[in-house]
Copies of this chain bind each other. A is one copy, B any other.
């Protein structure tokens, strides 16, 4: 699985986002074990410390949980994951809408642009 990390921004927020995305997509499913910190760090070409920090943040958000000596697991509750998906989606949409509005684009133009992006 590919990790796209921009070295010029802070790294662990990017890791958090990427893992969250994977959970939402179902790449890591509710109740499932996720790869070990070392494995993930290797994949992402990132220092294990940094990956550890990212996973800690996800745990604080109750998105994953640690079972000692066994590994880290995605939260079992599917409803929570669904809720998460909605929250993130609207966050992204809101941010996007804000940006295009501030450029002075009208909704027609914007919707058209989005449609053409989806036709690719």
Contact = CB atoms under 8 A, between A and B. Distances in A.
Number of copies: 4
B103 A110 contact: no
Contacts of A92: 96, 99-100, 103
Contacts of A102: 21, 25
Contacts of A113: 89-90, 93
A61 interface: no
Interface string A95-109: 011011111110101
A109 B89 CA distance: 10
11 contacts: A7-B68, A9-B9, A92-B96, A92-B99, A92-B100, A93-B100, A93-B114, A97-B117, A107-B118, A111-B111, A114-B114
